[in-house]
Amino acid sequence: MGLLSKEGWIGSFPVKEAVIFDFDGTLADTLEAARLIFNEIAPDYGLDEVAADKVADLRHFNLRELLKALGMKQRHVPGILRRGRMLMRERLASLKPCGDIFDHLDEIRKQTERCGILTSNSVENVEIFLRKHGARHHFDFISTCSKLKGKAKYLRAVAKTYSIEPSEMVYIGDEVRDMKAGLKAGVSVVGVTWGFNSKEALGKVGPSALAHAPHELLYIL
């Protein structure tokens, strides 16, 4: 049975064997840092900077639409991502968790056998951030996907590693590409609306549920 919050439908489903989180925008509030980092890199690729008041519009775009809006060529994406991870490391000390997400991880862990992270950020960056906030012990593994696309393959690899069916897993993320990757891998997906993509953009993909605040994950899971 679905659940309702003041923001509307959020959905729910049975307990799963593995709950996997995205990092940027889901666990760590990196949106503004990412904008500033992009603006630092943009001139080297002939790209325009992104003004703070333009972010709200970008939140409605899927990956293809976003790259087009930013004027980014596919061949430049790997280099921008690589530089972005390095520059993000310099800002880790100032980053904060997304709301009170870490306050609920103990309860979330009680509802699943395994808990992990799959991210496009670097493992080192994630490790530093989690240890700074005393949250590393909540996660059994951290896996990184160096490309913007390709998380579906990594989700299937997690299922194989732990000998569980993809249908017994949940992937929680804040972007349309996270939702699409999970669905492609046969994994249940939960979209969180406090990250990059808007609830409207996430809802169009058809996630198993939408969470509008971290505490709603407890009811969904």
- 5 with 95: CB under 8 angstroms? no
> Cβ–Cβ contacts within 10 Å for residue 200, how many?
10
The total domain count for the chain is 2
Q: Determine the structural domain holding residue 89 and report its residue range.
A: 31-93
164/127 same-domain check: yes
Residue 80's pLDDT is what? 93
Sign of the four-CA dihedral 43, 46, 52, 58: negative
pLDDT digits (tens, 9 = 90+) for 84-132: 999 999 999 999 999 999 999 999 998 899 999 999 999 999 999 999 9
pTM attached to this predicted model = 0.90
Same domain, 38 and 16: no
- Among residues 51, 71, 93, the one where a domain terminates is 93
Domain boundary among 44, 75, 93: 93
Please report which helix (H) or strand (E) contains residue 147, including its range: none
Q: Which is nearest to 203 in space by CA: 172, 179, 169?
A: 179
Q: Among candidates 166, 185, 214, which has minimal Cα distance to 16? A: 166
Question: At 1, is the pLDDT very low, low, confident or very high (cuts 50, 70, 90)?
Answer: very low
Distance CA 173, CA 127 (A): 18
Nearest one of 115, 113, 54, 121 to 87, comparing CA atoms: 121
Q: Cα separation of 22 and 180, whole Å? A: 13
What CATH number corresponds to the domain at position 175? 3.40.50.1000
What six digits make up the tokens of 18? 């593995």
Tell me, what's the pLDDT at 27? 98
- CA 31 to CA 195: how far, in whole Å? 7
